[in-house]
């Protein structure tokens, strides 16, 4: 195992949180903070994930969908390609 492996073991972290009676988990920065699976696992076990919910993390992990959601919400966005383009079209 790498030195980083324990920081990425969502199952073990949630199991420890449940065992210790934690009601919330702050994922820090990086590692699990943008991990939809970890946020969903916390929610399934009744633990508050301090951060966006799993669906929001999933949405913002896809930049095209995130932009579409921003436009739909009426937020200003920069002009860009309307979706995926091939390198030759860029």
Quick: pLDDT tens for 43-54. Answer: 999 999 999 999
Q: Which of 63, 12, 23 is nearest to 45 (CA)?
A: 23
Q: Which of 42, 45, 40, 33 is nearest to 8 (CA)?
A: 33
Residue 30: its pLDDT value, please?
Answer: 82
> Does the predicted model carry a pTM greater than 0.75?
yes
SS3 state of residue 19: helix
């Amino acid at each position: 195992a790498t030195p980083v492996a324990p920081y990425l073991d969502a199952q073990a972290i949630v199991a420890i949180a449940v065992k210790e009676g934690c009601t919330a988990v702050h994922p820090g920065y990086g590692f699990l903070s943008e991990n939809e699976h970890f946020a969903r696992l916390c929610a399934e076990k009744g633990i508050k994930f301090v951060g966006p919910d799993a669906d929001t993390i999933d949405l913002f992990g896809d930049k095209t969908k995130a932009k579409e959601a921003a436009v739909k919400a009426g937020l200003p966005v920069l002009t860009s390609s309307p979706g995926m383009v091939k390198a030759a079209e860029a």
